Amino acid sequence: MPKKAIKGFWVIFWKYVMIVVGACIYAVGFQFFLYPNNITSGGVVGTAMIINQLTGLPVGVMTILLNIPLFLIAWRHFGLDFMIGSAVGMGLSSVLVDVFAAFGFALTDDPMLAAVIGGVIKGSGLGIIYYVGATTGGIDIVVKLLRKRLASVNFGTIMLLLDVFIIAAYALVLGRYESAMYSMVAMYVTTKMIDLALYGIDNACLCYIISEKTEEITEEIVSGTLHRGVTLLNGKGAWSGAHRDVIMCVIKRQQIGRLKRLVRSHDERAFFIVTNAKNVFGNGFESISEVR
């Protein structure tokens, strides 16, 4: 078998392994923490929970039925590969939710603890599934569609905004206002975990250095201990009118201390600005081809 075909097989294999793992984690967070404490999840699952409370129909079954029209939309806009991956994610998570329901117990009866821990676990599972390019169906598909127009807004943020409406409906229809408040907490934690899985921790910093020793500092950043790229910006002092190059570079957070010492060793009067940098792509950081 050609190497390219073998590589393609393993990529697909690990994608579906991660979907299975994510679905299991999701179901644990939902069935052992959120659902027993009447904490809704928002989206299609939240809608299924409302129907479950009114009719007694299983949450997992209702989730699948509500997802059918959304998957038809997904097939049209994102292709067969996305639809299959999402169908596996949705099917597994829905089945596992109903399977775990057979155990009939909750790991805590404290709603705040359930909201926080359940949100962390559920968000971790969803984040894993989203990371490999699939979803669990439902509102996830709607969010993915919206991100085509709102690419600058994080996945979790859009999901949080949409889920607010479902949680509000949950409170109004069932009259469970306190549960809705806990649901808001759980949803906030969930979306933060999703963004953490998709975009990672802010582990990079953008630095600007204004100094009379620009050449020496630049040389050491590029060729010395840091080995980082540098861009020189043309700057002009508003008060002095003097022209001077401004050093701009992106470094790992753990390299800040070394850069400070480096700058200080050349110019103790240097002006040094450090800001957080998110979603850095390119040499030394995440590949631009892995943008989600």
Task: Write down the pLDDT at residue 179.
Answer: 83
Q: Which of 200, 50, 26 is nearest to 123 (CA)?
A: 26
Two structure tokens written together for 286: 């995440």
Two structure tokens written together for 133: 């390019």
Two structure tokens written together for 27: 């179901």
Could you give the CA distance from residue 167 to residue 188 in angstroms, rounded to a whole number? 12
Could you give the CA distance from residue 273 to residue 129 in angstroms, rounded to a whole number? 37
Per-residue pLDDT of the chain (292 residues; tens, 9 = 90+): 566 667 677 888 888 999 999 999 999 998 999 888 888 767 777 788 778 878 888 876 777 788 788 878 778 777 778 778 888 887 888 788 888 888 888 889 899 999 999 999 999 998 899 888 887 777 777 777 787 777 667 777 777 788 888 888 878 877 778 888 898 899 889 888 887 887 666 667 889 999 988 998 998 888 877 788 898 999 888 888 888 889 999 888 778 888 888 899 899 889 999 888 766 766 666 655 554 5
Task: Write down the pLDDT at residue 58.
Answer: 80
CA dist 279 to 84, 120, 268, Å? Answer: 28, 22, 31
Could you give the CA distance from residue 24 to residue 96 in angstroms, rounded to a whole number? 7
Q: Which of 134, 228, 199, 172 is nearest to 40 (CA)?
A: 172
Task: Write down the pLDDT at residue 287.
Answer: 58
Task: Write down the pLDDT at residue 183.
Answer: 87
Task: Write down the pLDDT at residue 50.
Answer: 78
DSSP secondary structure of the chain: --HHHHHHHHHHHHHHHHHHHHHHHHHHHIIIIIGGGT----HHHHHHHHHHHHH---HHHHHHHHHHHHHHHHHHHHHHHHHHHHHHHHHHHHHHHHHHHTT---S---HHHHHHHHHHHHHHHHHHHHHTT---STHHHHHHHHHTT-TTS-HHHHHHHHHHHHHHHHHHHH--HHHHHHHHHHHHHHHHHHHHHHH----EEEEEEE-TTHHHHHHHHHHSSS----EEEEEE-TTT--EEEEEEEEEEGGGHHHHHHHHHHH-TT-EEEEEEE-S-BSTTSB-GGG--
CB atoms within 10 A of CB 9: 11
Task: Note the pTM of the prediction, 2 decimals.
Answer: 0.67
Q: Which domains does the chain have, with CATH numbers?
A: 3-199 (no CATH), 204-290 (3.30.70.120)
Q: Which of 263, 251, 249, 261 is nearest to 208 (CA)?
A: 249
Task: Write down the pLDDT at residue 112.
Answer: 93
Amino acid letter, residue 121: I
